[in-house]
Structure 1
Amino acid sequence: MSIEDRDLAIAAAEAGAAVVRAKYGASLARVDKSGGDFATAADIEAEHAIIEVLRTARPDDAVTGEESGRTGADDAERRWLVDPLCGTLNYAVRTMLVAVNVALRTRLGVTVAASADPFTGEVFWTDGTGAYVRRDGVDERLTPSAESRLVDVNLDPPFPNDPAFRAVRLLADPEFVAAFRPRVVSTTLAVAWVAAGRRAAYVTDGHLGDSVHFASGIALCQAAGCVVTGIQGQPLHTGVGGLVVAADQDTHAALLALVGSQFAADPAR
């Protein structure tokens, strides 16, 4: 019997998470990439495991992997976006803050997605209509909440809107400090946490269309009912790009105002 896309995304993310978990704490050689980034054997082997699951069930689908790149037709109607270990530097220094992300992009957008936490055993997943977390085989619907006031800010490059906007400046803004409590975990697991009510919001710069890092988290937040836009409140993947995802409208509006003050202060804009 054919496996449904949502179940395939979950199975693939779990396969990658099993590799990441098994290799945790081992001495892993680093493979240098551009811009000072690197991968480890865990990244590469987890991606192989994920793609094997996808290829077995959907041999005709295209895939974009963080480590192996693009396969299949560029204009493929079905493309899997695979990030086998988001938070590689965390992992390399034995910090258990990582995510394994798998998403399917079709002509309708991202239709299913899963973000697995290898160390809690949780899998955050969406079928495009609802968003859930699976623990020990039991699914619970995700409910966003701004109650924590915790906002994760991505400080990793690239920064395409510098100098008009730098996410790091939010951390020193008195209005931000008065309203929120910053967090920097350096993994897109934090985007899934917004959908789950563990973070009030998440902010990053960057052009994120077809991003293997962000596709799953964005889909989860949209399905959970979060407010999801670019950094100036524009539709995703348009204009200056970026991402502001918030648990509710008030949190989103407050963050847009803070971001907007940076753009307004830049004489070039």
Structure 2
Amino acid sequence: MTKSSVSDTEVATAGASAGAAVVRAMYGRELSRIDKGAGDFATAADVEAEKAILAVIRAARPDDAVLGEEGGQQGTAGARRQWLVDPLCGTLNYAVGTMLVAVNVALRDGAATVADPFSGEVFFTDGESARVRHDGSGDALLTPTSATRLVDVNLDPPFPNAPGFRAVDLLAHPEFVARFRPRVVSTTLALAWVAAGKRAAYVTDGGGFTGSVHFAAGIALCRAAGCVVTGIDGGPLEEAGRGLVVAADKEAHALLMSMTGGRGR
């Protein structure tokens, strides 16, 4: 794979697929944990998957910088282009033998790929359209829909918008119970599932979503697929800086805004 022969989308997809292969191969092993503090940790699978992804990016895009979840900032200082890599989204799930994880590779403001190591699904976007490939089969356009009425709600701390907004309170909201059903899964897998029509929406508190190795690929997919992406107040994500709501369509988004106190769009 050389710089001139492949597109950014192909680089992102090849990188995510290489990382997914490592995650899949190491699944079920007893892996030591690398403590990151505040209850967070990585495993050898995170580290090795990131190495595999970086090898792909370096071979195809040697002049680009990379921000990796495990390795931090790497590459040419002041590089115009930067790749964002989360080699294993859902490390806790993975460490306890749960297959709800994803591998994320995104070019900042460009192509992005989310790979599910266990389903074989690879979700990707060139920044304009979003598609899915399953076990090497033909590509299918992602079509968001809120028909499932399933909403993934991230219940992990921190809660910077409490007490005004707490995701856990949403689950007890009478209108939420009447219109939706809650689920909890790994962040990026949940976002990919909204883009693919497997989930109606995803809701989380927090901030720093723009340029995040954890969220960049999933948000790029959802935007390219035509999902509604805002803060919990309904404002543009870049301006809001307050939580994240990704909905499959305007109806689901408006319903969630009425429950979170947002103004809708």
TM-score by length of 2: 0.94
How far did residue 34 of structure 1 move?
Answer: 2.1
Q: In the comparison of the two structures, how many residue pairs are matched?
A: 257
Q: Deviations over 1:100-122 (max 9, x none)?
A: 000001xxxx2110000000111
Kept in 2, the 8 Å contact 1:161–1:240? The answer is no
How far did residue 72 of structure 1 move?
Answer: 3.7
Distance in 1, matches of 2:246 and 2:22, equals 30
Q: Deviations over 1:114-144 (max 9, x none)?
A: 0000001110000111100011321000000
Q: What runs of 5+ residues in structure 2 fail to find an aligned partner?
A: none
Distance in 1, matches of 2:241 and 2:178, equals 27
Report the secondary structure of 1:156's partner residue.
coil
Q: 2:5 maps to what in 1? A: 2
Report the secondary structure of 1:60's partner residue.
coil
Q: How does 1:108-127 map to 2 (within 5 A)?
A: 110-127=109-126
For the structure 1 residues 166 and 182, does the alpha-carbon distance in structure 2 shift closer, same or farther, using more than 3 Å as the test? Answer: same
Q: 1:220 maps to what in 2? A: 221
How far did residue 187 of structure 1 move?
Answer: 3.3
Q: 1:186 maps to what in 2? A: 186
Q: 1:131 maps to what in 2? A: 130
Q: Does 1:57 align with 2:60?
A: yes
Q: 1:81 maps to what in 2? A: 84
More displaced stretch, 232-241 vs 119-128: 232-241
Q: 1:251 maps to what in 2? A: 252
How far did residue 209 of structure 1 move?
Answer: 1.8
Distance in 1, matches of 2:199 and 2:80, equals 33
Distance in 1, matches of 2:240 and 2:7, equals 35
Q: 1:231 maps to what in 2? A: 232
Q: Deviations over 1:70-117 (max 9, x none)?
A: 124665321100000000000001000000000001xxxx21100000
Kept in 2, the 8 Å contact 1:156–1:186? The answer is no
Q: What runs of 5+ residues in structure 1 fail to find an aligned partner?
A: 262-269
Report the secondary structure of 1:188's partner residue.
helix
How far did residue 44 of structure 1 move?
Answer: 0.5
Identity within the alignment, %: 69
Report the secondary structure of 2:73's partner residue.
strand
For the structure 1 residues 228 and 75, does the alpha-carbon distance in structure 2 shift closer, same or farther, using more than 3 Å as the test? Answer: farther
Distance in 1, matches of 2:30 and 2:187, equals 21
Distance in 2, matches of 1:73 and 1:247, equals 38
Distance in 2, matches of 1:34 and 1:80, equals 25
For the structure 1 residues 74 and 241, does the alpha-carbon distance in structure 2 shift closer, same or farther, using more than 3 Å as the test? Answer: farther
Report the secondary structure of 2:229's partner residue.
strand
Instruction: Supply the AA of the counterpart residue of 1:191.
Output: L
Kept in 1, the 8 Å contact 2:66–2:85? The answer is yes
Instruction: Supply the AA of the counterpart residue of 1:54.
Output: I
Kept in 2, the 8 Å contact 1:16–1:100? The answer is yes
For the structure 1 residues 58 and 245, does the alpha-carbon distance in structure 2 shift closer, same or farther, using more than 3 Å as the test? Answer: same
For the structure 1 residues 245 and 75, does the alpha-carbon distance in structure 2 shift closer, same or farther, using more than 3 Å as the test? Answer: farther
Report the secondary structure of 1:94's partner residue.
coil
TM-score by length of 1: 0.92
More displaced stretch, 147-156 vs 67-76: 67-76
How far did residue 239 of structure 1 move?
Answer: 2.9
How far did residue 238 of structure 1 move?
Answer: 2.1
Kept in 2, the 8 Å contact 1:194–1:200? The answer is yes
Q: Deviations over 1:170-224 (max 9, x none)?
A: 1111111111000011332010000000000001111112111111111101111
Kept in 2, the 8 Å contact 1:62–1:71? The answer is yes
Distance in 1, matches of 2:78 and 2:196, equals 33
Kept in 2, the 8 Å contact 1:97–1:187? The answer is no
Report the secondary structure of 2:237's partner residue.
coil
Q: 1:168 maps to what in 2? A: 168
Distance in 2, matches of 1:34 and 1:126, equals 33
